[in-house]
Amino acid sequence: MDWVVQSGSGIRVEWGQAGARALGPHSAALVVVDVLSFTTAVSVAVGAGTAVLPYPWRDGGAEEFAALSTDVRTSLALSGTERIVDIGCGTGQFLRTVRDSGHRGCLVGTDIHPAAVAAVTALDTLHAFQADALHLPFPDADFDRATAMHLLYYLSDPAAGLAEMHRVTRPGGRVAVTLNQTATAPRLRALVAEHAARHGFATRPATQIWASAPTTATPLDVDSAAELMRIEFGHATVWRRDNALLFPTPGSVLRYADVLARFACGVPEDSPHRQQIAHSIGGEVRDWFARHGGPWRDPKGYTVLTAHT
Ligand SMILES: C[S@@+](CC[C@H](N)C(=O)[O-])C[C@H]1O[C@@H](n2cnc3c(N)ncnc32)[C@H](O)[C@@H]1O
């Protein structure tokens, strides 16, 4: 059936007022389906037991954020009354999901960035302190649970960061740390590395991209972080979540390639090579889509490391 003229069927489907006007004169009966408003749809979903997680960015990562947040809450074995600190809390996304799940215990965020602290403080019922993760402004054993999500790579001394988490968590409590798995999008990473190298840009190992001044003997990745957890807590539970990024169009691949060129290969934003690299990667990516049709699938995952205190 030609989907535009919708011939070959006794039923035609249209959308909006223009559609109704077009169909009306030629139809024996016109059935109007009124789609629920967004707010009503959310109320119905929540009434049926669905959790709504705040996620403000339009970058396709909402699903992963929801899974990560749920995994961390599960790993913390919360009863609903624990006093929790989230170190390197950013804008408080995780604490919000905990609060919105009905948690009644005190929720505290810390971050080194004043803007992050201001964003969290502006939220009802959450508390935030500006502090370096290596020097937390809390007494020993002040919390029942401590989390550090996607933070450890930024610390000059990740082992000291874990020791500080340990110090502020009471005996019998729990800590959870999350890290991205080392090789996010290895296919695209390899392609970007190859093209950037032709312009003289060397790729930094994925494990070193975010570290400000690593002092550990090996760069921080999931295995070395798990080892640091075992040294600090005597044990660690490692929970790997393997997933993948799906890029539906060449344009979506190229936007991510540009980010990788900058962060993984150090191509400056204003470099004349940036356009050339993007152009040559674009040719290969478009060829690939022409042959395979898409989507471009590239592995990405995260790990939750948990320990008892
Ligand atoms: C990748 S973001 C993660 C934010 C949040 N935990 C999340 O998962 O969405 C890393 C955060 O760590 C903070 N940060 C970096 N170095 C820090 C340090 N030494 N002490 C505390 N926070 C730090 C940054 O300001 C940023 O908010």
Parse the chain into domains and list their residue ranges.
38-308
Highest mean pLDDT of the ranges 40-44, 182-186, 270-274: 270-274
In one-letter notation, the amino acid at residue 151 is: L
Work out which ligand 1 atom sits closest to the CA atom of 155.
Answer: 19
* pLDDT above 60 (res 59): no
Q: Would you state the pLDDT for residue 226?
A: 94
Tokens of 132: 């370096």
Distance CA 183, CA 83 (A): 34
Give percent above pLDDT 90 in the chain.
Answer: 51
Mean of pLDDT over the chain: 84
Q: Sorting pLDDT into bands at 50, 70 and 90, what band is 264? A: confident
The answer for 69, left when phi > 0, alpha when psi is -120 to 50, beta otherwise, is alpha
User: Mean pLDDT over residues 163-179, rounded?
Assistant: 97
Give the pLDDT band (50/70/90) at residue 284.
Answer: very high
Q: Are 206 and 182 in contact (CB under 8 A)?
A: yes
* 85 φ, ψ (degrees, to nearest 5): -115, 130
Q: Which atom of ligand 1 is nearest to 210's Cα?
A: 1
Band of pLDDT at residue 124, cut at 50, 70 and 90: confident
- The side-by-side arrangement of strands in the sheet containing 143-149 is 126-130, 107-111, 84-87, 143-149, 169-180, 296-308, 237-247
Lowest-confidence pick of 30-34, 95-99, 203-207, 303-307:
203-207
The predicted pLDDT at position 213 comes to 44
3-state secondary structure the chain: CCCCCCCCCCCCCCCHHHHHHHHHHHCCCCCCCCCCCHHHHHHHHHHCCCCCCCCCCCCCCHHHHHHHHHHHHHHCCCCCCCCEEEECCCCCHHHHHHHHCCCCCCEEEEECCHHHHHHHHCCCCEEEEECCCCCCCCCCCCEEEEEEECCHHHCCCHHHHHHHHHHHEEEEEEEEEEEECCCCCHHHHHHHHHHHHHCCCCCCCHHHCCCCCCCCCCCCCHHHHHHHHHHHHCCCEEEEEEEEEEECCHHHHHHHHHHHHHHCCCCCCCCHHHHHHHHHHHHHHHHHHHHHCCCEEEEEEEEEEEEEC
Residue with tokens 């599960």: 74
38-308 architecture in CATH? 3-Layer(aba) Sandwich (3.40)
Best probe residue, ligand 1, of 136, 151, 177, 259 (max atoms within 8 Å of C-beta):
151
Identify the residue with better confidence: 242 or 152. 152
CB atoms closer than 10 angstroms to residue 152 = 27
How many residues are listed for the chain in this entry? 309
The minimum-distance atom of ligand 1 relative to the CA of 68 is 8
What pLDDT score was predicted for residue 10? Answer: 74
CA of 88 to the centre of ligand 1 (A): 4
**Ligand 1 pocket at CB < 6 A:** 88-90, 93, 111-113, 116, 132-133, 149-151, 154-155
Q: What is the pLDDT at residue 55?
A: 54
Q: What pTM was estimated for this model as a whole?
A: 0.71
Residues 6+ apart with CB under 8 A from 152: 158, 161, 162, 177, 179, 220, 225
Nearest Cα residue to 248 out of 289, 205, 304, 308: 289
More confident residue, 178 or 222: 178
By alpha-carbon position, which residue is closest to atom 10 of ligand 1? Answer: 151
Pick the residue with more confidence: 174 or 32?
Answer: 174
